[in-house]
Each structure stands twice: as structure tokens, then as C-alpha cells.
Structure 1
Amino acid sequence: MATRIRYDNNNCEIGVFSKLTNAYCLVSGTSTSANFFTGFESKLKGVIPIVTTTIGGSGTIGSLCVGNKNGLLLPHTITDQELQHLRDSLPDRVVVQRIEEPLCALGNAIACNDYFALAHPKLEKDTEEIISDVLGVEVFRQTISNNELVGSYCVLSNNGGMVHPNTKVEEMVELANLLQVPLVAGTVNHGSQVISAGLTVNDWTAFCGSDTTAIELSVVNSIFKPIQSQPKLLVSEMRKSLIDTYV
């Protein structure tokens, strides 16, 4: 079941301050409360690394980077020290790369899982190629309900995806065929249309802002299918999988 958490000062836009994948979790290093970090730790400790970081001194890391189990793409605003910290902290197999893309809020411009990515139509051609190479995905330039910031209005895992609530059925069918996962239109945080600001997921768990209603939570659970609990067998299998992959 998805977990409700909040950032400092009752901020429910938890996706702005975190990035969750199947191989790692990044958490804002500017948080003044330990509760935000421990919210992720309660579900992820011992399974994947949880890394606190900033990007260019900013804590809005979820908006600024994009990644999956294969790689992590970072904007040109990241400092050399921050870049090295991430390279040192993430599994060796995860490719960590800084890119010179004018649209530096990569998390707002790109949505991806481990196999496919939706990208802002105006991204540089070189950026599209880097996304494909570093993340190991097929890239589609798309809009979602006429919005170019596909990373803001879509959240994906390998199990499913949630998109802007005004997305037409025909568009969802087209996107679902491209991404080869089921999609649903919805909101988080009591009606927020900016899906990625209030939701971050991987293939077995999900976190959403604390203002997310029971109905919204049920939609998240139905499309992403997070595991109801984290039995020892799951942790053991995930750890074994990561060791086999990264060593």
C-alpha cells in the first residue's frame, strides 16, 4: 500500500524533494526534519541505497533529475562535488551523467521507467540520445493533455502509470500502447494535477503527499500495485537481485 508522507513545514509535494527508482532513492539534503528521510527508510532500508543530496545547492532534486535502475541524468547546474557524491553513493552499475540541456528541470521534462521514456517535445536532439543511452530506454517525444512538461503530469513504473486527469481516453490508449503498461488518469494531494510533485514510485512501493485522499490513494494502489507489506523474503530477494546486478 502507498505510504503518505510530507516534507518540511507540512509540504505535501514530496515528489519535488525525492527521486525513487528500483535501484536507489534520492532524498533532498536540505530537509530540516528527519521525518522525511525516515519515511523512505521505513520501506527501503536494507533494500536499496537511500542517498541525501542537493543539485546546484537546491533541495528540489525530484524536479531537477531523472533516473531509473540503469542511470541518473543531472542538469548542468549540479556542482562537481555533488556529482562525485552521487557517483560514490550509488551502485556501480548506475551510470551518473551531467548533461548540457537548456531545460534543466529534467524531472519535469522527462518521465520514464526502466524501458521507456516520455520527453518534452523541445528537448535537444543530443539530450534525447543521452536519455536513450544512459537510461537504456526507448524515447518518445510527447505531450500529455496538451502539456509539454510530461515529467510533471505523468509518473511511471514498470507496472503502470498515472497521467493528468484531463487526459482523453484516446490519448491514454495511445500512450499505453507506446509504454506497454496500463495507465490511469488521476490526481494526488486532494486534487493536484501535477502528479509527479505529489507521488514517487518504483515497482514495489509508492509514496504520496499526506494530503492525498483515500480515493486518490486507492487509484495509486490499483495502478502501481505496491506490495502491501515488506516481508523478509522480499527484502532478501531484492538484495540478492541488486548484488547479482551490480557486482
Structure 2
Amino acid sequence: MDRTLSLNGDPNIGVFARVFEDIAFVPVDSPEEFGSKIAEALDVEVIPTFIQGSSVIGLLLTGNSRGFVVSGLIHDSELELLQEYGDVLLLGEEMNAAGNVILTNDSFAVVHPDMSSAMRKMVGEFLKVETVPMSFGGVGTVGMVGACTNAGVLLPARSAPSELEHLESSLPTADISVGTGSVNMGSNLIGTGLLVNSKGYLAGNATTGFELGRIEDVFGFL
């Protein structure tokens, strides 16, 4: 099947949707075809919603199998919907765009280097993972710079060797593949153009064949 997708012509699909192992959240106003392709490619139940009344769900929501981390400015009805599917941690105003500042799976969470120690501790205890404050390619918005599953982590090609080494040394298991690449014809903001779980992936429709090959290699889809 075609592994690329856009939202109304915009290839930055990771800004607008957030995918987990069994569910995905997409904007209420997104076309039916957008959710249908996500459901088919990643074998998930697709749930339409907004976060903070906004369609940029990928920027504001993240999490792992233990629960969701989301902006504390979320509307009550949106929060109630999330709680139907799992536990929810609300971030305070200090740094509340959870999907922007946290990159996590079931083993670790990389967080924005400026995140306070108190917030790091809160996130780590909720997700039951170790938190690692760092940046990639000098960019601290790790949730949009990278993408990860329990099998692999894809980081921007401009990441420094020392950053990759630091992440690899921080991982609790050597079974997680770490690699570099890009999306959407050279964009280093991997998370903005990639939706991925253990069952499949979709990349922005400007992503090249070479870039798709790197995604498949790092996440073990070859």
C-alpha cells in the first residue's frame, strides 16, 4: 500500500494526529479518508477530537501504554474523551505542549532540556520510564524532531554523534534501534511528518523513496 499521506495537502501529518499502539487521535474536521488510511496502515481505532479546541493534536498530546500526557489547557469534554481510553497526566503552563517537548515509548522518555526537574520527575513517574533531558541537532522540541516506537528511534540526520551516543547509552535495552533520517524531502523535523507504531507507518506525502527506506530500516519493517 502507499505509505504516504497528507491532510488537505499538508504533508506535516504528525502535527495533526497522534498514534499509539491501538488507537489514534485525529482532528474532528479532518477528511474521512485521512482517518481511514491511518486505521488501515497502523491497525488502530481512530478517534476524532480536538485538543484545546485545536487540530494540532500531535503537538499537544503524547504518551505510551501507561497513559496520555497532554496540555493542561485541554477542554473538559476533550479530557473526558481521553479518559475513556486511559489515564491522563495534565502538564502545567510552564511547558504544556506535551507532544512537542516529550519523545516517549514504553522504555524511556526524552524531554526538552529546559523542562524543570519537577516536571521531568512527574512525567517519568506517570509513564513509568526514565526521563532523559536532551536535544537533537541543537533542537529541544524532541517530540517533533524525532519519532519512536518500542522497536526504534528515528532522529534527524543533522543530530550530532555525541547526541546519538548519549541517547544510546541512556536506553534501558540494546534492542531498540537508533538511526537518523529525514521526512518530506529533507525535513529534519521527523515527528512532524511521520506516524508510526509497531504495526506500520505513514509519512508525509512529500517523503522520498530513500527516506521511506530509512524509516522501514530503523523501525524494522523491511
Question: TM-score with structure 2 length normalisation?
Answer: 0.92
Q: Which of 75, 79, 94 lines up with 1:79 in the alignment?
A: 75
* 1:100-128 superposed Cα distances (whole Å, 9 cap, x missing partner): 14222211111011110000111133321
- After TM superposition, the runs of 4+ consecutive aligned structure 1 residues lying more than 3 A away are none
Give the structure 2 partner of residue 104 of structure 1: 96
Give the structure 1 partner of residue 26 of structure 2: 27
Give the structure 2 partner of residue 64 of structure 1: 60
Take 1:213 and 1:198, find their aligned partners in 2: how far apart are those partners? 12
Contact 2:41 2:202 survives alignment (8 Å): no
Q: Which of 32, 40, 43 lines up with 2:41 in the alignment?
A: 43
Q: How many residues align?
A: 219
Partner AA of 1:220 in structure 2: I
Cα 1:163/1:220, change in 2 over 3 Å = same
SS in 2 for 1:152: helix
Contact 1:72 1:134 survives alignment (8 Å): no
Unmatched runs of 5 consecutive residues or more in structure 2: none
SS in 1 for 2:14: helix
Bigger share in strand: 2
Partner AA of 1:167 in structure 2: S
Unmatched runs of 5 consecutive residues or more in structure 1: 229-247
Take 2:45 and 2:117, find their aligned partners in 1: how far apart are those partners? 32
Superposition CA RMSD, Å: 1.7
Over alpha carbons, which structure has the higher Rg? 1
1:44 is displaced (CA, Å) by 4.3
Is the aligned partner of 1:5 residue 2:5? Answer: yes
- Of stretches 159-168 and 171-180 in structure 1, the one that deviates more from structure 2 is 171-180
Q: Which of 62, 66, 87 lines up with 1:95 in the alignment?
A: 87
SS in 2 for 1:151: helix
Question: TM-score with structure 1 length normalisation?
Answer: 0.83
Take 2:148 and 2:157, find their aligned partners in 1: how far apart are those partners? 15
Give the structure 2 partner of residue 172 of structure 1: 164
